[in-house]
Structure 1
Amino acid sequence: METKNRTLVNRLEEILEKNRDAQKGYAKAAENAKDHNLKAYFQNKSGERGTFNQILHKELVASYDEIDNDGSFTGTLHRAWMDVKAFFSGDNDESMLEEAIRGDKAAVEEYEEVLNESQLPSNVALVIREQLVKIRTDLNKVKSMEDLIS
């Protein structure tokens, strides 16, 4: 695979890895959440990221054949940070929600960067755009949840 293409594939693999990590992080947050609505929100987000993973992985394999299937080191650190944060804040729902918002904002930036790639296959670009819209929509909705938890 040529270097430019490999770089793009690496960036797409990073998005896939971070979605896997987000899925696990949301599941962990759901375990720690005290508020029933927030617990349901985190469970829903975990399931959504699982669906993102399936769809994106399918398109990446169709476009590039081999895809790395390991979780990212930074995602593991993020989940560990959420565990520490939950421990020190007494499983504070507001802190977990703020951390989830921070993670989704970072995801939006990564998705936008990948969409600027000129060699992005149209089928992969479509999936990335659809997932980006969903993440942005959820970020807008979560502001009302943040007000309820505060």
Structure 2
Amino acid sequence: MKITKDNKELVNTLQDLLQKNYDAEAGYKQVMQKTENQPLKNWMQQKALQRNTFATELDFQIRKHNAEPKASGTLTGDLHRGWINVKSTLTSDTDEALLEECIRGEKASLTEYEEKLERFNEDSEIKTIIQTQLTTVRSALNTVKKLEDIIG
């Protein structure tokens, strides 16, 4: 199959989302290690696994379009995790600070998904996958905000 401009744009959009999910998974794994609150740790582990599933779904779609999926996240994600390390070290209320970073990350994911969703055809399988993932990210954002209210 010849890679067309449309196919290349589609693959690039999927690659962006794939990397965002690698970043989110790594971020959740990192903050999970920084809390002693077991229910919070369990929730973060669940979110990390969910983002791993998202990445697997996106990886499959990229391969279906005859492209090689990217293998890691972004420099921005690495920098954000570095900031989490610094912030949690300087903050006495660690769980609240970690949840604030989760909120920041989920808001960024939500924005990215909303922007990317518009690039897919209405009836495409990919649009359905992206819409489902977007709904899950939105739900995670709402949940983490509630958790912050309870803990904070």
**Shift, 1:87, TM fit:** 1.4
Say which of 29, 35, 38 aligns to 1:36.
38
Specify the alignment match of 1:149 in structure 2. 151
Amino acid at match of 1:44: Q
CA distance in 1: counterparts of 2:79 and 2:148, whole angstroms: 24
Over 3 Å counting, the alpha-carbon distance change for 1:135 and 1:118 in structure 2 is closer
Unaligned runs of 5+ in 2: none
Q: Give the 5 Å matches for 1:61-100.
A: 61-90=63-92, 92-100=94-102
CA distance in 1: counterparts of 2:122 and 2:10, whole angstroms: 8
Q: Which moved more, 1:43-52 or 1:121-130?
A: 121-130
Specify the alignment match of 2:131 in structure 1. 129
Unaligned runs of 5+ in 1: none
Q: Which moved more, 1:57-66 or 1:14-23?
A: 57-66
TM-score between both structures, scaled by the size of structure 1: 0.89
CA distance in 2: counterparts of 1:95 and 1:87, whole angstroms: 10
**Shift, 1:118, TM fit:** 4.7
Q: Is the 8 A contact 1:8 1:120 kept in 2?
A: no
Q: Number of residue pairs matched? A: 150
Give the SS at the match of 1:139: helix
Specify the alignment match of 1:53 in structure 2. 55
Q: Is the 8 A contact 2:121 2:127 kept in 1?
A: no
**Shift, 1:92, TM fit:** 0.5
CA distance in 2: counterparts of 1:8 and 1:117, whole angstroms: 8
Identical amino acids, percent of aligned pairs: 39
CA distance in 1: counterparts of 2:78 and 2:123, whole angstroms: 29
Q: Which moved more, 1:80-89 or 1:117-126?
A: 117-126
**Shift, 1:115, TM fit:** 1.1
TM-score between both structures, scaled by the size of structure 2: 0.88
Q: Is the 8 A contact 2:120 2:126 kept in 1?
A: no
> Alignment RMSD, CA only?
2.0
**Shift, 1:2, TM fit:** 4.1
Give the SS at the match of 1:140: helix
Over 3 Å counting, the alpha-carbon distance change for 1:31 and 1:7 in structure 2 is same
Specify the alignment match of 2:104 in structure 1. 102
Q: Which moved more, 1:78-87 or 1:23-32?
A: 78-87
CA distance in 1: counterparts of 2:118 and 2:21, whole angstroms: 19
